[in-house]
């Protein structure tokens, strides 16, 4: 386990009474969750349990139906919130890599720095190269996304997020679109970020990663957090029958 719990009193992420409905379908039903600065929280659970919707509500990619979300003390659900300003402080890595196919890897990592942060080209290039090196892709800077494996594309997407100097990172099933043999290289990068003390909220089905790297695991089912605690407790000796059933099913595969 990572062993880099919070050192300050202000939570990086604070979710209170969060509800989200799509028409008549209630996807989130009163979720409460805090992620402390420097903490890694893995959210696990069956498909359709609301994990990704919860993550997307944190940076308002989904608009909550009710409840509040605070990021670094700023209430992003407040009508007057400068959400673009808050999003600049959050790195987001999706299932799909969302790289621009007509741009080189280096250009992909530079573009948001140039357009959003207005960094000069030379500065953006230097920071892009530093972060490509950080994820083990220094030699692929001039390649194009189509020339990379899925694992390399996802690592490039992580480098792109890191180049924006985020205060925290959100990962939405970052390995689910990858061939099994490529999963490890992405998880290794995420593990190194955790070791550096990056605040991370990770929706994942990789139970081994959650067990090794998370400070806390939250198990979701039916739009609610059923159980939350240290990985050894939630994954090793869960209290709730729903958690036990889910783990039994997952670990039998």
pLDDT digits (tens, 9 = 90+) for 19-50: 999 999 999 999 999 999 999 999 999 999 99
**What is the distance between the alpha carbons of residues 192 and 184, in angstroms, rounded to a whole number?**
12
Nearest in space to 225 (alpha carbons), one of 77, 25, 90, 34 = 34
Which tokens is 196 given?
Answer: 């550096």
User: pTM score > 0.85 for this model?
Assistant: yes
Q: pLDDT grade, residue 253 (50/70/90)?
A: low
Q: For residues 205-241, b (16+ Cβ closer than 10 Å) or e, as one string?
A: bbbebbbebbbbbbbbbebbbbbbeebeebbeebeee
Q: Is 114 exposed, middle or buried (0-12, 13-18, 19+ CB in 10 A)?
A: middle
Q: What pLDDT, in 10s, does the model give residues 142-154?
A: 999 999 999 999 9
Mean pLDDT for all residues in the chain: 93
Task: Give the residue-averaged pLDDT of 117-138.
Answer: 96
SS3 67: strand
Nearest in space to 37 (alpha carbons), one of 5, 71, 59 = 5
Task: Give the residue-averaged pLDDT of 157-178.
Answer: 95
Q: pLDDT grade, residue 9 (50/70/90)?
A: low
**Which residues touch 231 (CB under 8 Å, ≥6 apart)?**
1, 42, 210, 211, 212, 214, 216, 217
Task: Give the residue-averaged pLDDT of 212-229.
Answer: 96
Task: Give the residue-averaged pLDDT of 9-25.
Answer: 92
Task: Give the residue-averaged pLDDT of 73-92.
Answer: 92
Nearest in space to 152 (alpha carbons), one of 186, 180, 115 = 186
DSSP letter, residue 235: I
């Amino acid at each position: 386990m990572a062993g880099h719990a919070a050192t300050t009193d202000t939570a990086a992420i604070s979710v209170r009474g969060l509800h989200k409905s799509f028409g008549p379908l209630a996807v989130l039903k009163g979720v409460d969750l805090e992620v402390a600065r420097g903490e890694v929280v893995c959210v696990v659970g069956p498909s359709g349990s609301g994990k990704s919707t919860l993550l997307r509500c944190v940076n308002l990619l989904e608009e909550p139906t009710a409840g509040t979300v605070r990021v670094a003390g700023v209430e992003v659900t407040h009508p007057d919130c400068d959400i673009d300003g808050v999003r600049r402080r959050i790195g987001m890595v999706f299932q799909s890599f969302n790289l621009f196919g007509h741009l080189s890897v280096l250009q992909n990592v530079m573009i948001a720095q140039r357009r959003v942060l207005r960094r000069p080209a030379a500065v953006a290039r230097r920071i892009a190269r530093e972060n490509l090196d950080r994820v083990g892709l220094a030699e692929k800077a001039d390649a194009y996304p189509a020339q990379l494996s899925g694992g390399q594309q996802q690592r490039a997407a992580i480098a792109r997020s890191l180049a924006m100097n985020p205060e925290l990172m959100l990962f939405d099933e970052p390995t689910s679109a990858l061939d099994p043999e490529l999963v490890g290289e992405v998880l290794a990068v995420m593990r190194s970020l955790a070791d550096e003390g990056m605040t991370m909220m990770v929706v994942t089905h990789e139970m081994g990663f959650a067990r090794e790297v998370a400070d806390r695991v939250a198990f979701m089912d039916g739009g609610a957090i059923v159980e939350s605690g240290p990985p050894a407790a939630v994954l090793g000796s869960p209290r709730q029958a729903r958690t036990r059933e889910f783990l039994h099913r997952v670990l039998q595969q």
